Each structure stands twice: as C-alpha cells, then as structure tokens.
Amino acid sequence: MPYSDVTDRRWSSKTVRYIIHRIGPSTITSANRPTQDFVMSYRIASRDETVSVPAGTFEDCLLVEGEATLTMFADPLTGYQDVPIKTREWYAPGVGLVKLERSEVLDTRIYKGGSYLFELVEYL
C-alpha cells in the first residue's frame, strides 16, 4: 500500500473475485473464470479512525476504501451484469491490518455473492 500523509490519495491494483461462487449449473464455463482479474480503485478515506475488534481498540487507524465493477455473465435470463465490489481496510500504526470488510453483491440462479469480515483476534 502506498504511504502518504495526504487523505484521499488514490491508486489502482488488480484483484480477483473472492466471494461470488457458482450455485447452479451453467453451460457457459469460459465466461466467468474464478481467476478473472479486474482493477480495484483504492483511496485513503481517513487517517484517524478508531476501530474496535476482538484484539482491542486501535486509534489513529488508516482507512482504505476500494471500489470496482466486475462485468460477468450472471445467468441466461439476465445475461451480462455489472457487479459492484467494495472493500474497506483499517490499518493500525505499528500493527498493520486489523479489520477488513469486502462485499461482492450478486444474486442470480447460477451465482451468489455476499460479504465477509476479517478482524484481528489477538495481538501480542
């Protein structure tokens, strides 16, 4: 992650989908490879966040927000659909990543998305 003292610093990085998964049959297999990469745009949203996780409360955290749109073949009725991908990551000084939220919203007969939450549970 690029370091900057300036809030709203922006950059991009390739990523893949992590949450969206196939739940139904599909005759189209090459349109939606799980490793299909796309570009996520990130920005430093805040440098003074306080975040509480099972490992404790951390102050002066850096909040990084990311957004992307993944175009994928949703199902034969819907066809191609733009899927919003969002992430929020909190980094504590001297610790690193303490919390991460990611959402990949999609709900069709063939594919389901969702969200996940990672939180630091112990810090020595």
What count of other Cβ atoms lies within 10 Å of the Cβ of residue 120? 19
pLDDT at site 86: 97
Say if 66 falls within a structural domain. Answer: yes
Indicate the pairing of strand 56-75 with strand 10-16: unpaired
Domain that holds residue 90: 10-119
Q: Tally the domains of the chain.
A: 1
Say if 3 falls within a structural domain. Answer: no
pLDDT at site 34: 53
CA dist 17 → 33, 74, 99, 103, 112 (Å): 10, 14, 19, 10, 12
Say if 106 falls within a structural domain. Answer: yes
pLDDT at site 47: 95
Say if 124 falls within a structural domain. Answer: no
The residue among 30, 56, 42 whose CA lies nearest residue 122 is 56
Digitized pLDDT (tens) for each residue of the chain, 124 residues in all: 445 566 779 999 888 887 887 787 765 555 555 557 789 999 999 999 999 999 999 999 999 999 999 888 877 788 888 899 999 999 999 999 999 999 999 888 888 898 999 999 998 8
Say if 36 falls within a structural domain. Answer: yes
pTM: 0.82
